[in-house]
Amino acid sequence: MSDMEYPLVYASWETRAYWEGCGRGEIVLQRCRSCQTVQHKPRAICATCLSSEIDHFVASGRATIYTFTVTHQNQALPFRDHCPYVMAYVTLEEGPRLFTNIVGAEPSTVRIGMAVVADFAPQVRTDGEVFAVPRFRPE
């Protein structure tokens, strides 16, 4: 599904650093300055200690597949025209799990535990934002 035009992602001010990072080809995660907990999805506070002191850092982009499904039916566009496609949770080296698509592999060859790396699909937008959708592909 690498040729698919992904739906435009929406960035709130809390999630902007993540989507801007994707636009640069980087997975950006949050770490709490008070308790050092790494969290995803991004938010304005640390959900562990409620501190507002949040740092952002660039993750390696390397992950392993936690679980996946090959989807043969989705009535919503644009996905309807790209079945079958692979949806997965991947576990990043830094700990958090992301929901994503697996690309660059025949769906029948995808396996739990497979090593994957981030692969960014830039978005064509008219609002001046430089965002991309991170998918993962076999290393």
Partner 1 sequence: MTISGNIAIAGVFEHPTRWAPDKTEFQIMAESARGALADAGLTIKDVDGLFAASMTMGAMGTVELAEYLNLKPNYVDGTNIGGSSFVAHVNHAAAAIHAGLCEVALILYGSTSASTATAIGTGGYGGGGRNPSEAWTGPYGMTTVGSYALVAQLHMNKYGTKPEQLAEIAVTMRAHAALNPNAKMRQLITVDDVMESRVISEPLHLLDCCIISDGGGAVVVTSAARARDLPKKPVLLLGCGEALAHQEIGSPDLFTLAAKQSSTRAFSMAGVSRDDIDFAMIYDSFTITVLATLENLGFCALGEGGAFVSDGRIRLGGALPVNPDGGGLSNNHPGMRGIFLVIEAVKQLRGECGDRQVTGAKLALAHGTGGTIGVAHSGATIILGSE
- Contacts with partner 1 by CB under 8 A lie at 6-10, 12, 15, 37-41, 47-48, 66-77, 79, 82, 85, 87-89, 95-101, 112, 133, 135
Strand 62-71 relative to strand 115-122, pairing: antiparallel
Q: Does 35 bind Zn ion (CB under 5 A)?
A: yes
Q: What string of H, E and C letters represents the secondary structure of 31-76?
A: EECCCCCEECCCCCCCCCCCCCCEEEEECCCEEEEEEEEEECCCCC
Among 38-46, 85-93, 109-117, 122-130, which window interacts with Zn ion (CB under 5 A)? 38-46
Restricted to residues 43-62, the positions that interact with Zn ion (CB under 5 A) are 46, 48-49, 51
Residues touching Zn ion: how many (CB under 5 A)?
8
